[in-house]
């Protein structure tokens, strides 16, 4: 199942000193998306503002004539803002001196209509003539008022942040009547309305997060016809064409299955067409192809008995709907449509007493079934109900019908292009229905009505979702474009004012009604079939979406609602990087937007929109100089940008097709692109003399048996790639030849050129090698089966570059992570798995990041959990047995509500920071030591030097560690080792050149050249070579004795490994500290 989002809603120019520059397909917005001042004010700030108004009455009084022109008939919002600031506004308003203020009215229940056209950015004015003022104090001079200049001056002094210009703009918004003065009531009223509108806008644009697509274990053998939820018993009912009724608990466990029968014999040639719940009377109604509707009692024990059977219908009912009045449960309406185009309804008036009249013979046996005829209902024999019907559809099958109480009308639809949708209602004192019809080209499959928005949404066969005003039949008020196949179902997400639509190509879309744009796209993993029956049901109370595919039932459940928090992007964030040159954080999202943030404050400074059109940006990378940004997208291209928004090159990875790019690796002479292909895509920098760059062939051919997901590079020439089946292939980047394959459970030989032909695909497109060699077969057949579930998938690879001596001393120099939450440490020299541990149990695939000093490891999982581990002393030496004990866990936290998509560790100003981004649209930052989690884009900017600190460490220990580092910089070597290392290290500063003369040579890993300290006589020539007075000769230090010199030769540092000496030194230091503490305690006694 794939998730995609719609194009960015905000594609127009942003306010600023300069208009945005469009270059290379992206829009550069400088200093965009700055929040308004009224949205940044916190609770403490508003209390300061209140105190400023209270103090103002002592130094200034309201001038005569400065009256409040607030309209007493202004509509009030129906719901209160949930923010803490709104609550504080109410509390402080109650304590103010003005007892008759408009804010006081907000303490009572809302009594007005919807908020329309009120306070639109200071441009609308309130009428003042002929209207009574809400606030008319007995003495106007005692009112607390401020002029524009006073407000600007006092607010900047009192609040302590914000400019005079910003407070002046806020004053203009509050003073809509342009009186030149505002008071406390005007300010609080404006803030309440602003918060309400902000909450409404935020609620409408929230994109729900979904759990994994799940198929429920049904027992239906034929097509599922209906899915309903019983509120009274908190159970779900499903019914299939063959008449099997499934009863599900609220936990979606199948409790029982019952056959529904119309007679004493079971169904053989009859089909069930529809099912509705009569909740007010605890019954269900089932329609059959025998032109019958049967009513079953849910309260009886055992099987559901049939209480009423309605026969004699003129056509087969194929759709039904039931409504009852929640204020008077006796009033209800059962509406149904048939294959002859008739729309009929039964209106019950005493439903709680009896649905129909029972004959006298039936009173003795209350459980006996009562058979009714449609003619009896038409004749008026049953006094407890009456019928309504019309035939405006003229023989077309009625696909959906419902009675809506808000419109007091019956709505029905067909697939015809004439009289496609009909609204029928009955005026008072008239028996016949009055009707109006909507004509939709090619007809519609379904519809839904939103009472608050007063909109009808239709699922068009012409691939359109139309929004209609029930009273305007000429044309729709909105058309939602985006489906590539006919739409077969629509349903409103009423509380959020959003709309679901489902098309025949099995694509689900969620629409923002206000902007009429798609905000989410989900491709459902149903089997490929052109002919299928689909039932669509959204249980809004539980956040569950049911979609049936013939006899299969799928569930798409919403994740628990995320708490209110700041969002860095409008859409899910996919990647985050840190630019150490500019000290900026770069982030990308699925809406093809790239944003730039100041790491010191968390403020957004610019963003590029539409970098790849509407395609998702899946990964990013920086070049070696950090002056170019590379973005990889699902449209199959990689683009090279500068930081002003100009696109220099476009790399054609997918060969004009869409591909999933998972990583971009920028090397000295090549750019490697990986992502859901078995081959490495390579671009050589020598070809970067044109805009469109085509890939070249990788010389090492295909060595992976499954899709490559990630890669890592260790200078000068070691390249590793990890694939979905858990294999890690080691390459020589200079020759582009592979020389080893690593896997947690087996080893295998490399493929020859004859083996690199494409293999057949199996199991959802995963590849599988054929004909293993005899030595491979000895390892076990299970070892070579591709991991189709991705339990061993390698998602991230990182080299431990700071460990420079692993080739001699052994130990891990490569870390991998991915499927099943495991982290593994490898020795690439000995081709050995040294350690593996479970970092995140039960969380599925994980990602990771390691700091440059290789001291800390950060891991993140699909639930938003972040863990930080200390790996400084982990797997430093080789061992025969695999280590399974995890390293020291320093910190565990959950900064995100959804899966962590990218991690970055950086050290600006000496502070080690962890930056994470997530599908919850946020980018968070914290440190190793337990600092607060900061969100990029939050209202209040932070200062990293004030909030993030390094761990406090013992001064003596730090001093000893500094001495250790100095010892590590100049290792003790023999003459043979010194001469060998110096020859190898002389090549370190030069990148490995791709010279064909030396390609066949086996080049060892090079080491850094230790810094050689110059002798003292070279550093200070004057001191040693200039003539000096004789009296200074006595100050020259004496030479060391021969015994001391000989003793230094046999120093124990030359005899024992450094690790043993370090442990002994630390033990001595700890012993000294302990003994000193004991002495101090004794002295005190």
Partners of 286 in the β-ladder: 275, 294
Spatial distance between the Cα atoms of 4 and 616, rounded to a whole number of angstroms: 8
Backbone angles phi, psi at 916, to 5 degrees: -135, 150
For residue 1000, pLDDT over 70 is answered with: no
* pLDDT of amino acid 748: 79
Mean pLDDT of 767-792: 42
- Tell me the pLDDT band of 485, cut-offs 50, 70 and 90: very high
Burial of 920 (0-12, 13-18, 19+ CB in 10 A): buried
For residue 212, pLDDT over 60 is answered with: yes
Report DSSP letters for 994-1053, one per residue: --GGGTTS-PPPP-PPPPPPPPHHHH-HHHHHS---GGGGGGSPPPPPHHHHHHHHT-GG
Spatial distance between the Cα atoms of 606 and 611, rounded to a whole number of angstroms: 14
Mean pLDDT of 361-383: 81
For residue 782, pLDDT over 50 is answered with: no
* pLDDT of amino acid 627: 94
Least confident of 277-291, 359-373, 604-618, 743-757: 743-757
Q: How far apart are the first and last CA of the chain?
A: 73
**Smallest Cα–Cα separation from 902: which of 884, 885, 924?**
924
Report DSSP letters for 585-627, one per residue: EEEEETTS-EEEEETTT--EEEEEE-TTTTS-EEEEEE-TTS-
Contact 246, 217 (CB under 8 A): no
* pLDDT of amino acid 564: 63
Backbone angles phi, psi at 30, to 5 degrees: -90, 130
Backbone angles phi, psi at 1048, to 5 degrees: -65, -30
* pLDDT of amino acid 255: 85
Assign 325 to helix, strand or coil. Answer: coil
* pLDDT of amino acid 1022: 63
**Smallest Cα–Cα separation from 596: which of 923, 914, 860, 849?**
923
Spatial distance between the Cα atoms of 531 and 551, rounded to a whole number of angstroms: 13
Residue 1059 parent element (H or E): helix 1058-1084
- Tell me the pLDDT band of 364, cut-offs 50, 70 and 90: low
Contact 422, 390 (CB under 8 A): yes
3-class SS string, 678-727: CCCEEEEHHHCCCCEECCECCCCCCCCCCCEEEEEEECCCEEEEEECCCC
Mean pLDDT of 653-671: 86
Tokens for 1059, please give them: 């690790």
- Tell me the pLDDT band of 1029, cut-offs 50, 70 and 90: very low
Q: What is the DSSP letter of 801?
A: T
Spatial distance between the Cα atoms of 415 and 444, rounded to a whole number of angstroms: 5
Kindly calculate the radius of gyration of the chain based on its CA atoms and give it in whole angstroms: 38
**Smallest Cα–Cα separation from 85: which of 130, 39, 124, 126?**
39
Report DSSP letters for 133-184, one per residue: BS---S-GGGS-EEEHHHHHHHHHHHH--S-HHHHHHHHHHH-TT--SEEEH
Number of C-beta neighbours around residue 512 at 10 A? 21
For residue 509, pLDDT over 90 is answered with: yes
220 vs 70, residue with greater confidence: 220
Number of C-beta neighbours around residue 712 at 10 A? 20
Contact 586, 620 (CB under 8 A): yes
Alpha-carbon torsion 833, 834, 839, 841, what sign? positive
Rounded-to-5 percentages of helix, strand, coil across the chain: 20, 30, 50
Q: Within 13 A of 58's CA, how many CA atoms are on the CB side?
A: 4
Spatial distance between the Cα atoms of 1080 and 1074, rounded to a whole number of angstroms: 10
Q: What is the DSSP letter of 46?
A: H
Tokens for 886, please give them: 């995890």
Burial of 751 (0-12, 13-18, 19+ CB in 10 A): middle
Give the residue carrying structure tokens 């019950």: 348
For residue 455, pLDDT over 90 is answered with: yes
Contact 285, 278 (CB under 8 A): yes
What are the angstrom distances between the C-alpha of 907 and each of 537, 813, 926, 946? 50, 22, 12, 16
Q: Given phi > 0 = left and psi -120 to 50 = alpha, else beta, which region is 252?
A: left
Spatial distance between the Cα atoms of 109 and 980, rounded to a whole number of angstroms: 86
Strands in 885-968 per DSSP E: 888-893, 900-906, 913-918, 923-927, 934-935
- Tell me the pLDDT band of 957, cut-offs 50, 70 and 90: very low
Mean pLDDT of 492-521: 91
* pLDDT of amino acid 429: 67
Tokens for 604, please give them: 């957004």
Mean pLDDT of 1031-1047: 47
**Pairing assessment for the beta strands 332-338 and 343-348 based on DSSP bridges:** antiparallel
For residue 961, pLDDT over 80 is answered with: no
Listed in sequence order, the residues at least 6 apart from 879 whose beta carbon sits closer than 8 Å to its beta carbon are 834
- Cis status of the peptide bond prior to 716, with omega within 30 of 0: yes
Longest dimension (CA), the chain: 142
Torsion, Cα of 203, 207, 208, 212 (10° steps): 180
* pLDDT of amino acid 172: 86
- Tell me the pLDDT band of 232, cut-offs 50, 70 and 90: confident
- Tell me the pLDDT band of 169, cut-offs 50, 70 and 90: confident
* pLDDT of amino acid 942: 80
Mean pLDDT of 953-975: 37
864 vs 131, residue with greater confidence: 864
For residue 328, pLDDT over 60 is answered with: yes
**Smallest Cα–Cα separation from 514: which of 486, 542, 480?**
480
- Tell me the pLDDT band of 387, cut-offs 50, 70 and 90: very high
Spatial distance between the Cα atoms of 728 and 736, rounded to a whole number of angstroms: 15
* pLDDT of amino acid 234: 81
For residue 142, pLDDT over 60 is answered with: no
For residue 1021, pLDDT over 80 is answered with: no
Torsion, Cα of 875, 878, 880, 886 (10° steps): 0
For residue 985, pLDDT over 60 is answered with: no
Least confident of 42-46, 549-553, 807-811: 42-46
**Smallest Cα–Cα separation from 481: which of 526, 515, 438?**
515
Spatial distance between the Cα atoms of 263 and 246, rounded to a whole number of angstroms: 19
For residue 278, pLDDT over 80 is answered with: yes
Give the residue carrying structure tokens 């708490």: 563
Alpha carbon 521 to its chain centroid, in Å, reads 13
Give the residue carrying structure tokens 């009084």: 61
- Tell me the pLDDT band of 828, cut-offs 50, 70 and 90: very high
966 vs 717, residue with greater confidence: 717
**Smallest Cα–Cα separation from 725: which of 745, 740, 706, 744?**
706
In tens, the pLDDT along 578-606 reads 999 999 999 999 999 999 999 999 999 99
For residue 1032, pLDDT over 70 is answered with: no
**Smallest Cα–Cα separation from 448: which of 435, 438, 458?**
458
**Pairing assessment for the beta strands 647-652 and 692-693 based on DSSP bridges:** parallel
- Tell me the pLDDT band of 970, cut-offs 50, 70 and 90: very low
Give the residue carrying structure tokens 């209270």: 54
Least confident of 107-121, 294-308, 332-346, 351-365: 107-121
Alpha carbon 702 to its chain centroid, in Å, reads 34
987 vs 176, residue with greater confidence: 176
Tokens for 1024, please give them: 């040693």
Q: What is the DSSP letter of 417?
A: S
Q: What is the mean pLDDT of the chain?
A: 77
pTM listed for this prediction? 0.45
In tens, the pLDDT along 399-420 reads 999 999 999 999 999 999 999 9
Backbone angles phi, psi at 1061, to 5 degrees: -65, -40
Assign 450 to helix, strand or coil. Answer: strand
89 vs 701, residue with greater confidence: 701
In tens, the pLDDT along 593-643 reads 999 999 999 999 999 999 999 899 999 999 999 999 999 998 889 999 999
1011 vs 914, residue with greater confidence: 914
Backbone angles phi, psi at 459, to 5 degrees: -95, 105
- Tell me the pLDDT band of 447, cut-offs 50, 70 and 90: very high
Contact 468, 500 (CB under 8 A): no
For residue 135, pLDDT over 70 is answered with: no
**Smallest Cα–Cα separation from 522: which of 4, 75, 169?**
4
**Pairing assessment for the beta strands 306-311 and 370-373 based on DSSP bridges:** parallel
Partners of 552 in the β-ladder: 549
């Amino acid at each position: 199942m794939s998730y995609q989002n719609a194009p960015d809603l905000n594609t127009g120019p942003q306010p600023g000193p300069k208009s945005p520059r469009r270059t290379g397909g992206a829009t550069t917005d400088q200093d965009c998306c700055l929040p308004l001042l009224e949205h940044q004010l916190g609770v403490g700030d508003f209390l300061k503002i209140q105190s400023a108004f209270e103090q103002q009455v002592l130094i200034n009084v309201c001038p005569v004539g400065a009256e409040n022109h607030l309209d007493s008939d202004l509509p009030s919002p129906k719901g209160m803002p949930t923010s803490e600031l709104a609550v504080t506004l109410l509390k402080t308003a109650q304590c103010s001196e003005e007892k008759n203020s408009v804010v006081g009215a907000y303490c009572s229940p809302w009594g007005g209509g919807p908020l329309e056209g009120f306070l639109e950015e200071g441009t609308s004015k309130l009428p003042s003539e002929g209207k009574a003022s809400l606030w008319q104090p007995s003495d106007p001079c005692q009112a607390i008022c401020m002029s524009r200049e006073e407000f600007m001056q006092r607010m900047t002094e009192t609040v302590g942040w914000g400019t005079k210009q910003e407070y002046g703009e806020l004053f203009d918004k509050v003073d809509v009547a342009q009186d030149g003065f505002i008071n406390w009531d005007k300010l609080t009223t404006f803030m309440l309305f602003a918060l309400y509108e902000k909450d409404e806008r935020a609620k409408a644009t929230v994109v729900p997060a979904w759990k994994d697509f799940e198929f429920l274990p049904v027992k239906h053998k034929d097509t599922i016809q209906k899915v309903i939820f019983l509120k009274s018993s908190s159970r779900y009912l499903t019914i299939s064409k063959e008449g099997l009724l499934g009863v599900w608990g609220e936990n979606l466990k199948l409790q029982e299955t019952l056959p529904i029968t119309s007679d004493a014999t079971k169904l053989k040639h009859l089909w069930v067409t529809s099912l509705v719940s009569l909740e007010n009377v605890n019954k269900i109604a089932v329609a059959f192809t025998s032109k019958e509707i049967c009513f079953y009692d849910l309260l009886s024990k055992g099987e559901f008995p049939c209480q009423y059977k309605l026969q004699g219908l003129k056509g087969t009912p194929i759709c039904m709907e039931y409504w009852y009045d929640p204020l008077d449960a006796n009033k209800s309406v059962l509406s149904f449509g048939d294959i002859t185009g008739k729309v009929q309804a039964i209106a019950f008036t005493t439903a709680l007493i009896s649905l129909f009249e029972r004959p006298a013979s039936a009173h003795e046996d209350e459980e006996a079934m009562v058979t009714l005829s449609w003619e009896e209902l038409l004749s008026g024999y049953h006094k407890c109900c009456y019928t309504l019907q019309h035939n405006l559809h003229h023989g077309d099958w009625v696909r959906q019908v419902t009675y809506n109480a808000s419109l007091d009308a019956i709505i029905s639809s067909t697939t015809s292009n004439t009289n496609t949708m009909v609204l029928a209602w009955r005026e008072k004192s008239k028996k016949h229905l009055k009707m109006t019809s909507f004509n939709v080209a090619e007809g519609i499959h379904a519809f839904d009505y939103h009472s608050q928005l007063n909109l009808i949404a239709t699922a068009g066969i012409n691939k359109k979702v139309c929004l209609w005003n029930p009273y305007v039949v000429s044309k729709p008020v909105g058309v939602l474009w985006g489906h590539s196949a006919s739409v077969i179902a629509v349903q409103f997400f009423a509380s959020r004012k959003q709309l679901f639509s489902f098309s025949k190509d099995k694509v689900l879309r969620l629409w923002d009604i206000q902007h009429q744009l798609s905000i989410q796209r989900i491709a459902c993993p149903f089997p490929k079939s052109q002919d299928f029956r689909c039932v669509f049901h959204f249980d809004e109370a539980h956040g569950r979406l049911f979609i049936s595919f013939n006899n299969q039932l799928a569930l798409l459940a919403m994740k628990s609602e995320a708490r209110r928090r700041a969002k860095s992007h409008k859409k899910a964030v996919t990647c985050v990087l840190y630019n150490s040159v500019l000290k900026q954080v770069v982030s990308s999202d699925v809406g093809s937007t790239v944003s730039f943030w100041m790491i010191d404050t968390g403020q957004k400074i610019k963003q590029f929109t539409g970098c790849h059109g509407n395609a998702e940006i899946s990964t990013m990378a920086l070049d070696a100089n950090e002056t170019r940004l590379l973005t990889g997208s699902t449209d199959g291209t990689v683009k090279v940008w500068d930081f002003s928004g100009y696109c220099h090159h476009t790399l054609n990875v997918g060969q004009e097709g869409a591909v999933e790019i998972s990583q971009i690796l920028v090397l000295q002479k090549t750019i490697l692109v990986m992502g859901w292909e078995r081959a490495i895509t390579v671009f050589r920098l020598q070809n970067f003399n044109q805009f469109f760059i085509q890939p070249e062939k990788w010389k090492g051919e295909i060595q992976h048996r499954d899709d490559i997901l990630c890669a890592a590079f260790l200078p000068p020439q070691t390249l590793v790639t990890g694939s979905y089946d858990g294999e890690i292939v080691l390459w020589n980047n200079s020759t582009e030849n592979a020389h080893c394959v690593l896997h947690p459970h087996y080893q295998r030989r490399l493929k020859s050129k004859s083996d690199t032909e494409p293999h057949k695909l199996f199991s959802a497109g995963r590849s599988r090698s054929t004909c293993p060699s005899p030595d491979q077969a000895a390892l076990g057949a299970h070892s070579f089966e591709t991991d189709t579930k991705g339990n061993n998938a390698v998602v991230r690879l990182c080299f431990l570059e700071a460990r420079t001596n692993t080739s001699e001393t052994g130990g891990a120099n490569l870390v991998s992570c991915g499927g099943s939450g495991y982290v593994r440490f490898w020795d690439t020299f000995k081709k050995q798995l040294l350690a593996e541990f479970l970092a995140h149990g039960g969380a599925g695939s994980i990602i990771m990041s390691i700091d440059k000093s290789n001291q800390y490891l950060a891991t993140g999982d699909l639930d938003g959990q972040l863990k930080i581990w200390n790996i400084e002393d982990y797997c430093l030496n080789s061992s025969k047995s695999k280590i399974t004990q995890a390293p020291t866990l320093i910190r565990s936290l959950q900064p995100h509500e959804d899966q962590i998509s990218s991690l970055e560790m950086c050290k600006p100003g000496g502070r080690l920071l962890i930056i994470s981004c997530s599908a919850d649209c946020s980018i968070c930052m914290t440190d190793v030591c337990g600092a607060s989690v900061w969100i990029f884009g939050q209202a209040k900017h932070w200062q990293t030097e004030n909030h993030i600190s390094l761990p406090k460490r013992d001064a003596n220990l730090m001093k000893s560690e500094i001495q250790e580092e100095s010892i590590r910089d100049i290792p003790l070597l023999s003459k043979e080792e010194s001469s060998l290392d110096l020859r190898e290290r002389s090549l370190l500063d030069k990148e490995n050149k791709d010279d064909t003369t030396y390609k066949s040579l086996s080049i060892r890993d090079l080491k850094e050249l230790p810094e050689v300290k110059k002798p003292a006589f070279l550093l200070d020539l004057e001191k040693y070579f200039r003539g000096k007075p004789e009296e200074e000769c006595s100050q020259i230090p004496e030479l060391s004795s021969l015994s001391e010199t000989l003793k230094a030769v046999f120093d124990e540092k030359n005899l024992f490994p450094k690790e043993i000496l370090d442990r002994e030194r630390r033990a001595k230091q700890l012993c000294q500290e302990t003994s000193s503490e004991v002495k101090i305690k004794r002295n005190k006694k």
